[in-house]
């Protein structure tokens, strides 16, 4: 019947050989990249941004937390699979103040990815000529060690790595 004709006329599919496998192109590391922790957005008006996510979009939004050692106020917006971090300048030397001078309406500031071993990641990334913006990890908004990778070494994106 029809099923027999479909089975006999179906084209055969070839699976790629293991030598072409994507996973074999990934160098082995002593540390492991984890999940996307958050996407950080610099905002010129923190209250308006909080209101957008909480009152308009219905998201769960944290209280504002001051992080003077990073020169920022932070607010976290909970999403189903990750978070948004709203950043606003704290103090004159805030990196967010200079970002907002160039981007008046705000915008994406950085992405944060978890790693299982931040110290080993730092060592290996330095060997691979990836610049790290501090000599030692700092304690981030989640109370865990973080480092930032130079955006010029990461295709224009400021990348934060956070100890999982």
Give 30's pLDDT tier (boundaries 50, 70, 90).
Answer: confident
pLDDT for res 22: 53
Dig out the tokens for 86 from the structure: 């709203």
- pLDDT tens digits, one per residue of 91-144: 888 999 999 999 999 999 999 999 999 999 999 999 999 999 999 999 999 999
Give the Cβ contact number of residue 3 at 10 Å.
7
CATH among 3.40.1190.10, 3.40.50.970, 3.40.50.1100, 3.10.180.10 for 33-163: 3.10.180.10
Rounded Cα gap, residues 158 and 149, in angstroms = 6
- pLDDT tens digits, one per residue of 12-26: 444 444 444 555 565
Domain ranges of the chain: 33-163
pTM over 0.75: yes
Sign of the CA dihedral running 59, 62, 63, 69: negative
Rounded Cα gap, residues 59 and 128, in angstroms = 39
Rounded Cα gap, residues 117 and 137, in angstroms = 11
- Cα–Cα nearest to 98, from 109, 114, 111: 109
1 has pLDDT over 60 = no
């Amino acid at each position: 019947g029809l099923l027999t004709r479909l089975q006999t006329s179906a084209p055969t599919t070839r699976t790629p050989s293991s030598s072409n496998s994507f996973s074999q192109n990934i160098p082995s590391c002593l540390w492991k990249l984890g999940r996307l922790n958050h996407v950080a957005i610099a905002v010129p008006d923190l209250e308006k941004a909080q209101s957008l996510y909480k009152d308009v979009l219905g998201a769960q939004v944290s209280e504002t937390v001051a992080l003077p050692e990073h020169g920022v106020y932070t607010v976290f917006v909970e999403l189903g699979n990750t978070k948004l971090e709203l950043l606003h300048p704290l103090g004159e030397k805030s990196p967010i103040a200079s970002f907002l001078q160039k981007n008046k309406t705000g915008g994406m500031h950085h992405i944060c990815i978890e790693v299982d071993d931040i110290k080993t990641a730092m060592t290996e990334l330095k060997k691979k000529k990836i610049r790290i913006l501090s000599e030692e990890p700092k304690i981030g908004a989640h109370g865990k060690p973080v480092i930032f990778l130079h955006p010029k070494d990461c295709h224009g994106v400021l990348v934060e790595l956070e100890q999982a």
